[in-house]
Amino acid sequence: MSEQITSRRPAPFSLANLVLLRLVYGVLIVIAVSILIFCGVQLLPGNAATAILGQSATPAAVHALNVQLGLDQPALNRYLQWLTGVLHGDFGVSYTSREAIAGPLSTRLGNTLFLAAVTAVIAVPLALAAGLISVRYQGGVVDTVLNAFTRATVALPEFFSGYVLILIFAITLAWVPSSASIAANMPLSQKLSAIALPCATLVLAILGHMSNMTRAALIAAQSAAWVDTAVLKGLSPWRILWRHVLPNALGPIINVVAMNLAYLMVGVVIVENVFVYPGLGQYMVDSISKRDIPVMQDCALLLAGIYILLNLVADVMALVANPRLRHNR
Q: Taking the domains of the chain in order of start, what are their residue ranges?
A: 107-321
Q: How many CB atoms lie within 10 A of CB 94?
A: 19
pLDDT at 35: 93
Please say whether the beta carbons of 281 and 269 come within 8 A. yes
pLDDT at 69: 76
pLDDT at 122: 92
> Which residue, among 184, 195, 188, has the nearest Cα to 103 in the 3D structure?
184
**Helix (H) / strand (E) containing 239:** helix 237-239
**What residues in the chain have per-residue pLDDT under 70?**
1-13, 46, 224-228, 230-232, 234, 321-329
Task: Tell me the C-alpha distance between 161 and 169, whole Å.
Answer: 12
Task: Detail the DSSP E strand segments found in 74-173.
Answer: none
Task: Tell me the C-alpha distance between 124 and 259, whole Å.
Answer: 12
Q: How many CB atoms lie within 10 A of CB 145?
A: 12
Q: How many CB atoms lie within 10 A of CB 178?
A: 17
pLDDT at 201: 92
Of 2.30.30.180, 1.10.3720.10, 3.40.50.150, 1.10.10.350, which CATH number belongs to 107-321?
1.10.3720.10
State which amino acid sits at residue 83. Answer: L
Please say whether the beta carbons of 194 and 184 come within 8 A. no
pLDDT at 252: 77
Convert 129-142 to b/e letters by CB count within 10 Å (16 or more is b).
Answer: ebbbbbbbeeeeee
